[in-house]
């Protein structure tokens, strides 16, 4: 049994530094995208710029082929090393990119007569671009097509709601400038948000610059500084952007380096420069542009509407509009034409530009429909003006109010849509604002005494800095407590309302709130490595990812616009032909209109009301809101795919250790088999285990400390163990106060010929049935007592399993532990199906077996051994306190490490998919209901027509309805919120 718990907790033992020193440089969440374009060797700076590339080479038959490739490639300038394996068909080449490119190397190998099958996938860079001018799904598809045509681009994801593009490309064949140019050639704007080399960047403003030579001195000094990867100078604004390695340097060191570059002290000065948030600035600019365009449009369209629809109905006030200037050309016509033209060609210029670029790339979007509809109305009205000028009997009607009102309503809709879309990322914006702006930096002497205290910007904090956090202030960066005790409210990050006690050795997370005590922490993660930054990166990646359900909108949009154009043409043609043929009575045609004009209005209305703008917003806006809300409540969903798959889950597979259980063994009872006092017995066992790193040994020591605290005895001056020995897989031993003490399992007792009497055997048997490990303690060759150690079940586990059952979801346990322990734990939490003694690959195979039965399977785990199963499952859920490998492999990260968030993730997925379906109803409902009405299906029976300007209002309302529908997800509440009223479980009296 001892071996079972030892095996169960083996990887926990490897992670013993969770609150210590061993993992201080390991990020809480690994980045979802890795960019491997360099191979670093910190010892030699010149080698850090070299890259390693690997090719698959076909046609090699023997070792001489490899030698010939190595000799030819090795002679090329810029090649550092070449290794060719004819058996594996691979060539690994180390080169300097400034002297030779990957394409040149590839061509050289091909010139020798060999086939290079593909470029290396490890030489891939990633950049994110802000896109301007997207109106609907067809716009995002056009951008994807334009980027995929660029040589070297591997993968493109364009997010319509987020207005961003994430591009994977070969940096040897293209760069971000060429990608931006490709987007601009397609008719859209683009700005660089980030690239693979700016993970750690600092922006500095320079002072004391008097000549270009000063800038050159600073650039060369920074370029030769250890840890600096790239220096970008702005000679006009006297600014510098520095990319650096946080392991080797930091912002304060770089500022000091600049100051020391001058010939006299403080010749140059550098201060932190915070560039404006580009995305927020762009959004505010877009809101301002749409608002101003709408107001200018109203300035012209409202008078046109009054002159066309209101004053003619109010004689004698409108009689002056009928004054004939020449033939049938009236004052009203002139005024409407003069007021409409600026709206059509100046304010509405954006629709012409968008339609031109859309048609140029062979697609059709909203701009095409708007341009067609407004042009039809405007130019027919101009035709009516010309006829009125040239005829003294023409009584036609113009539609200038149709064009102006249509453009005004569309601009109003876009303005409201942009404002509403900005709210979809509010949860993410709140996360980014959690970190405080300043922090207190401490300088210590060799005896750890505080010498000085300075308030600095949070962005100037470097790794290993000592920071003071006063009560009521926020933690600036991730770190470990080195001095002080307090309670920290981590609800801003994890959603957990109850403050958590922090003592020396415990981790703290940037952005959380220190409540009542003063803490001194050592910074371990700064910049983009902090948990807060990584959470933001994961949420941004999830918001950009396209959910599979989005494919429906993409498919519809491909043929929707051409279908609408055809439908509008057929509507106009049908009404016009039937009118000319006398199929419907002339009395149906309104006064001052002829059959052609009425048919034209029906056609324009169909064009406008059917615009599919809202269709492209249905999925991404819901995904943006739900992923942001999930992150704020402690559930990180890594993409639309995971969000969609979670709602299909019918089976949840749980790991045991660290998932259903706490993952930290505790002593739950003590049994004495001799007359040794309980405190003396525990002291001897604790002293013997004091030097042990095994989790069970630590549990015995912790139990003894609590016992002393309970009885108020002194624990500071405990005797040290002598002749300490470790017996792998059995226990430990040593001399304590002249007595030989052995602490371990039954095997240890047998090895040392210590008899185990029936009472001890019975206690061991009872413990095993309760899923407990029995630790025997022998003093001078006699078993004096025993500890029962267990890994306690998480208090919320039973309720979570029960709640999942009410949701129609089956729970299964798969663990590597023995059958007795697994069965006991499963019975305690209410799981019926158990698979024990399963290795990591076996867990993955069990997931696949369950999937073969037709059910979507979710896997919940926390360890390295769970990673294969997390990847194999339809949805992998990693406990946030687990290993980085498990977190990287999972689709969903439960930051709080609470099982109740398994329910939250599945329920949030179901609510989101339900909202997306409702969004499709809003998006298509206006089209499905509006198109027949716009086409005039009700007109013969009720006389109801849908004027083009009202059709434009419906189109705008469609987009706004979808965004507002998605925003309602912000009111999401967890279906299960567990509060453990028992507090921490104390087993001190279980003797």
> Could you report the average pLDDT of every consecutive run of 10 residues in the chain (991 residues)?
39 38 41 33 41 77 78 85 77 80 82 72 72 75 86 82 80 82 85 65 79 80 80 80 78 82 69 68 80 91 84 79 85 90 91 81 72 79 84 73 78 74 61 77 82 83 87 88 85 60 85 85 82 69 61 66 82 87 79 73 76 69 81 78 84 86 83 86 87 78 84 64 80 87 87 88 83 86 88 87 92 82 85 84 85 88 75 83 60 82 91 87 78 83 73 72 84 73 41 47
Q: Quick one: tokens of 85? A: 């394996």
Q: Are domains 51-118 and 666-790 of this chain identical in fold?
A: no
**Contact between 615 and 557 (Cβ < 8 Å):** yes
CATH 3.30.70.100 fits 201-275, yes or no: yes
Q: What are phi and psi of 891, to 5 degrees?
A: -90, -25
**Contact between 372 and 607 (Cβ < 8 Å):** yes
Tell the burial category of 362 from Cβ atoms under 10 Å away from its Cβ (0-12, 13-18, 19+): exposed
- Can you give the pLDDT at residue 882? 53
For 426, other C-beta atoms within 10 Å of its C-beta total: 16
> Of the candidates 642, 641, 543, 622, which has an alpha carbon nearest to the alpha carbon of residue 892?
642
**Contact between 528 and 200 (Cβ < 8 Å):** yes
| CA–CA dist 488, 680 (Å, integer) | 36
- Can you give the pLDDT at residue 491? 63
Tell the burial category of 417 from Cβ atoms under 10 Å away from its Cβ (0-12, 13-18, 19+): buried
CATH T-level fold of 125-195:
Alpha-Beta Plaits (3.30.70)
Start-to-end Cα distance in the chain: 21
266-303 pLDDT tens trace? 577 787 777 666 666 777 888 898 889 989 999 998 89
| CA–CA dist 695, 717 (Å, integer) | 23
Q: Quick one: tokens of 632? A: 């704020």
Phi-psi region of 810 (alpha: psi -120 to 50; beta: other; left: phi over 0): beta
- Can you give the pLDDT at residue 5? 39
Cβ neighbours for 343, distance < 8 A, ≥ 6 positions apart: 297, 300, 301, 403, 404, 407, 408
CATH classification number, 666-790, choose in 1.10.40.30, 3.90.1820.10, 1.10.150.120, 3.40.1110.10: 3.40.1110.10
- Can you give the pLDDT at residue 49? 52
Alpha helices in 260-365 (DSSP H): 278-305, 331-342, 349-360
220-258: burial string, b at 16+ Cβ within 10 Å, e else: ebbeebebbbebebeeeebbbbbbbbbeebbbbbbbebb
| CA–CA dist 257, 251 (Å, integer) | 10
Tell the burial category of 347 from Cβ atoms under 10 Å away from its Cβ (0-12, 13-18, 19+): buried
CATH T-level fold of 51-118:
Alpha-Beta Plaits (3.30.70)
CATH 2.70.150.10 fits 439-529, yes or no: yes
CA atoms within 13 A on the CB side of 56: 6
CATH, domain range 638-661+793-909: 3.40.50.1000
Domain residue spans of the chain: 51-118, 125-195, 201-275, 279-424, 439-529, 548-622+911-971, 638-661+793-909, 666-790
- Can you give the pLDDT at residue 547? 59
| CA–CA dist 747, 731 (Å, integer) | 9
| CA–CA dist 398, 92 (Å, integer) | 73
- Can you give the pLDDT at residue 101? 77
Q: Quick one: tokens of 293? A: 């365009």
> What is the rounded (10 degree) CA torsion for 697, 699, 702, 708?
-90
For 519, other C-beta atoms within 10 Å of its C-beta total: 25
């Amino acid at each position: 049994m001892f071996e079972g718990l030892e095996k169960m907790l083996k990887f926990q033992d490897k992670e013993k530094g969770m609150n210590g020193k061993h993992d201080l440089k390991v990020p809480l969440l690994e980045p979802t995208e890795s960019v491997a374009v360099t191979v670093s060797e910190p010892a030699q700076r010149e080698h850090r710029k070299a890259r390693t590339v690997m090719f698959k080479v076909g046609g090699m038959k023997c070792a001489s082929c490899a030698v010939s490739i190595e000799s030819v490639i090795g002679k090329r300038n810029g090649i550092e090393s070449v290794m060719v394996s004819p058996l594996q068909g691979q060539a690994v080449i180390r080169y300097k990119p400034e002297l030779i490119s990957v394409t040149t190397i590839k061509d050289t190998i091909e010139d020798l007569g060999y086939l290079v099958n593909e470029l290396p996938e490890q030489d891939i860079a990633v950049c994110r671009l802000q896109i301007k001018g997207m109106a609907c799904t067809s716009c995002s598809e056009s951008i994807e097509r334009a980027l995929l045509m660029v040589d070297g681009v591997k993968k493109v994801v364009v997010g319509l709601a987020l207005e961003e593009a994430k591009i994977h490309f070969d940096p040897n064949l293209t760069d971000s400038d060429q990608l931006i140019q490709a987007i601009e050639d397609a008719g859209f704007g683009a700005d660089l948000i980030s690239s693979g080399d700016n993970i750690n960047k600092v922006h500095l403003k320079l002072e004391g610059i008097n000549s270009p030579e000063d800038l050159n001195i600073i650039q060369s000094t920074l370029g030769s500084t250890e840890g600096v990867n790239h220096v970008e100078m702005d000679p006009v604004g006297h600014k510098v952007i520095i990319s650096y390695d946080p392991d080797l340097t930091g912002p304060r060191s770089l500022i000091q380096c600049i100051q020391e570059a001058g010939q006299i002290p403080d010749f140059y000065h550098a201060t932190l420069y915070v560039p404006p948030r580009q995305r927020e600035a762009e959004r505010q600019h877009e809101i301002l542009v749409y608002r101003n365009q709408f107001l200018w449009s109203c300035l012209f369209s409202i008078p046109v509407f009054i002159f066309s629809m209101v004053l003619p109905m109010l004689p004698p006030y409108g009689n002056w509009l009928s004054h004939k200037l020449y033939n049938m050309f009236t004052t009203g016509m002139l005024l409407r034409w003069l007021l409409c033209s600026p709206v059509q060609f100046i304010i509405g210029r954006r629709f012409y530009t968008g339609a031109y670029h859309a048609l140029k790339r062979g697609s059709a979007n909203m701009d095409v429909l708007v341009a067609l509809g407004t042009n039809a109305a405007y130019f027919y009205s101009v035709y009516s003006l010309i006829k009125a000028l040239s005829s003294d009997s023409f009584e036609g009607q113009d539609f200038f109010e149709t064009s102006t009102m249509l453009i005004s309503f569309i601009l109003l809709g876009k303005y409201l849509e942009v404002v509403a879309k900005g709210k979809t990322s509010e949860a993410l914006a709140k996360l980014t604002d959690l970190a405080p702006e300043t922090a207190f930096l401490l300088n210590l002497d060799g005896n750890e005494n505080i010498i000085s205290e300075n308030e600095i910007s949070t962005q100037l904090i470097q790794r290993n800095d000592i920071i003071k956090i006063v009560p009521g202030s926020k933690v600036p960066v991730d770190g470990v407590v080195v001095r002080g005790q307090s309670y920290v409210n981590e609800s801003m990050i994890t959603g957990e309302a109850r403050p958590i006690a922090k003592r020396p050795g415990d981790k703290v997370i940037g952005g959380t709130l220190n409540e009542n005590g003063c803490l001194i922490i050592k910074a371990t993660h700064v910049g983009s490595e902090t948990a807060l930054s990584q959470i933001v990166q994961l949420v941004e990646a999830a918001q950009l990812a396209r959910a599979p359900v989005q494919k429906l909108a993409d498919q519809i949009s491909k043929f929707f616009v051409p279908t609408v154009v055809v439908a509008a043409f057929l509507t106009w043609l049908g009404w016009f032909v039937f009118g000319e043929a006398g199929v419907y009575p002339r009395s149906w045609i309104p006064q001052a209109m002829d059959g052609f004009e009425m048919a034209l209005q029906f056609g324009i209305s169909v064009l406008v009301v059917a615009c599919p703008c809202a269709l492209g917003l249905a999925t991404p806006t819901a995904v943006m809101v739900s992923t942001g809300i999930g992150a704020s409540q402690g559930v990180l969903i890594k993409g639309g795919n995971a969000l969609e798959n979670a709602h299909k889950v019918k089976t949840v597979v749980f790991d045991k250790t660290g998932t259903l259980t706490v993952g930290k063994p505790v002593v739950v009872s003590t049994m004495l088999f001799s007359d040794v006092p309980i405190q003396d017995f525990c002291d001897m066992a604790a002293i013997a285990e004091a030097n042990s790193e095994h989790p069970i040994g630590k549990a015995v020591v912790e139990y003894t400390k609590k016992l002393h605290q309970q009885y108020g005895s002194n624990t500071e001056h405990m005797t040290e163990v002598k002749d300490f020995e470790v017996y792998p897989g059995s226990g430990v031993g040593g001399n304590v106060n002249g007595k030989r003490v052995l602490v371990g399992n039954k095997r240890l007792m047998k090895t040392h010929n210590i008899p185990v009497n029936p009472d001890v055997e019975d206690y061991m048997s009872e413990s095993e049935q309760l899923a407990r490990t029995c630790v025997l303690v022998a003093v001078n060759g006699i078993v004096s007592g025993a500890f029962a150690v267990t890994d306690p079940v998480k208090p919320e586990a039973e309720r979570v399993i029960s709640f999942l059952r009410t949701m129609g979801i089956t729970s299964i346990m798969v663990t590597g532990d023995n059958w007795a322990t697994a069965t006991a734990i499963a019975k305690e939490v209410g799981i019926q199906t158990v698979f024990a003694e399963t290795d990591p690959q076996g867990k993955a195979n069990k997931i696949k077996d369950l999937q073969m039965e037709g059910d979507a399977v979710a896997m919940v785990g926390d360890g390295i051994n769970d990673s294969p199963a997390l990847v194999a499952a339809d949805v992998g859920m990693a406990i946030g306190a687990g290993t980085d490998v498990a977190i990287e492999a999972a689709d969903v990260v439960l930051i709080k490490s609470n099982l109740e968030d398994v329910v939250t993730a599945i329920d949030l997925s179901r609510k989101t998919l339900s909202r997306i379906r409702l969004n499709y109803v809003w998006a298509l409902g206006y089209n499905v209901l509006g198109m027949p009405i716009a086409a005039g299906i009700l007109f013969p029976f009720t006389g109801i027509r849908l004027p083009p300007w009202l059709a434009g209002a419906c189109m705008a309302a469609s987009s706004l309805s979808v965004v507002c529908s998605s925003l309602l997800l912000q009111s999401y509440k967890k279906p299960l919120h567990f509060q453990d009223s028992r507090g921490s479980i104390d087993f001190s009296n279980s003797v």
